Amino acid sequence: MKKQALRILIVDDSEVDRMLIKYMLAQTGLECGFTEVSGIPMALAECERRTFDVVLIDYDLPGTDGLDGIAALRERCPDCVLIMLSGHGDEMIATEAMQRGASD
């Protein structure tokens, strides 16, 4: 039986970062299908169209931060794994992300 590819939504306004994420995941050998968007409104629209196994969301997004995005995405995708990505390394942001529904 063929394994189904992980359906991953990448929410990041940087095309370079999205490419890097896809490259790094490809190195794991996992079979993944990617949908890429640059902001929360587009991510919410994609969640209306299809289901995802994992959402990788950047903290620093234009117009809103990833924390607000996590709360909105958790409502739309209650069974999805939400992982916030950030280069800030701030424990308070990490704690807030988990309280709003991030898985990691």
pLDDT band (50, 70, 90) for residue 2: low
Would you say residue 6 has pLDDT above 80? yes
Domain residues for the domain of 35 are 6-100
Whole-angstrom distance, CA of residue 99 vs CA of residue 12: 21
**In the predicted model, what is the mean pLDDT of the chain?**
88
Q: Tell me, yes or no, whether 92 lies in a domain.
A: yes
Q: Tell me, yes or no, whether 1 lies in a domain.
A: no
What does the pLDDT look like over 74-90, one tens digit per residue?
888 888 999 888 776 67
Number of domains in the chain: 1
Quote the pLDDT of residue 53: 95
For residue 29, report the phi and psi dihedrals to the nearest 5 degrees: 85, -5
Would you say residue 35 has pLDDT above 80? yes
Amino acid of residue 3: K
Would you say residue 7 has pLDDT above 70? yes
CATH number at residue 39: 3.40.50.2300
Q: Tell me, yes or no, whether 33 lies in a domain.
A: yes
Whole-angstrom distance, CA of residue 34 vs CA of residue 94: 24
| Residue 10 or residue 78, greater confidence | 10
Mean pLDDT of 3-20: 92
